Amino acid sequence: MIRKQENIRTTTKTSPFSGTGNITVRDILESPEEMYQKGRVFCHTTVYAGSGIGYHVHQGESETYYILSGHGTFNDNGVMSEIGPGDVLFTGDQAGHSIEATKGEDIEMIALILYK
């Protein structure tokens, strides 16, 4: 399969998980079937400067972010950390997280949600 850039499903979300501002999500794979029922999200996400994905807890799944560019703040189950390019952020089953683009620049990242 080849999915050309112009055919990638792109969605803008406002205040995800009661966060702030907007994010844009580009689906790399579009369905659990494309991930052999092992996951539900594999996407390239932009968290715009001053925006954030609100704190949420994962149930029966994990989420990994790979930061491509930008800097910000990550809440790892209550522990706040500064993050930047090349960082890998993992949130396991029954754990929570949030991310904010707090440094005046967009965060570009790959997000992957896998079922437990």
CATH number, domain at 19?
A: 2.60.120.10
Q: What is the distance between the alpha carbons of residues 23 and 31, in angstroms, rounded to a whole number?
A: 20
In a domain, 102, yes or no: yes
In a domain, 3, yes or no: no
The pLDDT assigned to 51 comes to: 98
**Average pLDDT over all residues of the chain:** 97
Q: Which domain holds residue 35?
A: 9-115
Mean pLDDT of 33-49: 97
The pLDDT assigned to 86 comes to: 98
The pLDDT assigned to 104 comes to: 97
- The strands making up 96-100's β-sheet, listed across from edge to edge, are 52-57, 96-100, 72-76, 79-83
Mean pLDDT of 79-100: 98
Q: What is the distance between the alpha carbons of residues 62 and 101, in angstroms, rounded to a whole number?
A: 21
